[in-house]
Structure 1
């Protein structure tokens, strides 16, 4: 049996409930196992504003999915245009949430998005890197450090990093 799709004109998927959440935000928290159910969720994401902020705390569906480790929802939201750099009322981004909660695969996914800014600061001046270090997630900190320092395209005015000597058996490489 084939589902008939969402009735886009029946409900407003951008309407916030009394707690300030939209159906898209709530769906981002769902655990979906069946392919047909995920198709409905993706259709829902495509019908509304995936970048809307909750009226309380200003979180987006992407931030909610990230915080709860819902990588399938993160992928679906990104495919529907979720902005990785939106900041909530405290200045946190989805990348900061993933870094704090130790979601390595989600961090990798977010960093792979064009324009992902790993240097944004929250209201306390913390970055995703400092948050990962404070939470003890060294693996994530290494990913963030590499993204911030080595993923930018070189321009003529950007000094190139050079190594005067290559590490040999008696010298340790910088990142060992």
Structure 2
């Protein structure tokens, strides 16, 4: 008799606990949904998040670093030492100093083996070198290309607006060469 009374009491305690847990879970779920409009109201009142404005007009900040008063022509060149096809997708483009720009180089490993390679940049005229700022470039690290693999590799850059006014054309040239492997030794 005692066991059945204890079992019923335990079942009752368990069902009460289950009820409490279900209520807590429902309240937490509801609280999560309620936070979204509360967060938007707090952002509007404090001016913290410009994306939740009342009139839904989002103003994109203007990059004041771009020098719209002049244009610089950037020419792209590619050289290879080894069994590659390597070239820029475009030969040149006109940009404003300070404007973020992207160009793509294509490389094809024409060998039936994996090859490691590295690209080394050079600039002309030499005085433009410190003003050519690369943000992302395949030349930052070695590239491993599989047998007969083709790849497009981006270069993201901008020209510092402090570039001397007399420089109107910059040539970015890459030399792409094999690292290790079957490279030809330089003559002594």
Query: Which of the two has higher C-alpha Rg?
Result: 2
Task: Looking at secondary structure, tell me which structure has more strand per residue.
Answer: 2
Task: Looking at secondary structure, tell me which structure has more helix per residue.
Answer: 1
Q: TM-score range by the shorter chain?
A: under 0.3
TM-score (norm 2): 0.19
Larger RCO (alpha carbons 8 Å, 6+ apart) = 2
